[in-house]
A and B are shown apart, each in its own frame.
Chain A
Amino acid sequence: GQNIDQPTEMTATEGAIVQINCTYQTSGFNGLFWYQQHAGEAPTFLSYNVLDGLEEKGRFSSFLSRSKGYSYLLLKELQMKDSASYLCAVRDPDSWGKLQFGAGTQVVVTP
């Protein structure tokens, strides 16, 4: 099995930057994903990391260190619409179709 930890909640001001950390413990590794989920809605894909380093996509960036079992999602120039839950997920090394999700980090953006 795999253990995935991320903070429960973070608060930041509109226009600021927030970094959401995710640590995982796994017997194997086959990719890490970040999803955004607004309350009562479907998760939407944000990023995918399989190699170490930073992946940048607009205001969102995701970083991975496989040796440390660590990833972060960086949200820049925060907007009110970024208030949502951010889910870190690790792909099962034996089954590329199976993702294990963390409990999610609720980000609250204040004016």
Chain B
Amino acid sequence: KQEVTQIPAALSVPEGENLVLNCSFTDSAIYNLQWFRQDPGKGLTSLLLIQSSQREQTSGRLNASLDKSSGRSTLYIAASQPGDSATYLCAVDTDKLIFGTGTRLQVFP
């Protein structure tokens, strides 16, 4: 059974810091891995999707890496801003999308 874990569960940092969010999964037989953002009371916003054959994807200040063999992905956020405050979820696609436990991020001015 695929299990997806995210560390840390919560993070509070001052504005401007570079951040690393971690995602680990137990079964490496995945099609892809995706990072989402969820604002309180809102739906999911897709940030980055990494195919199983890829090593990383970048979008603006976000960079996600994937090491399928070790069952790990990281989301790097450069120069964090208060607007980055949200819950970040990773999800692995193995015929169905299995979500991680989430990281609640707060960036304060």
State yes or no: do A and B come from one complex.
no
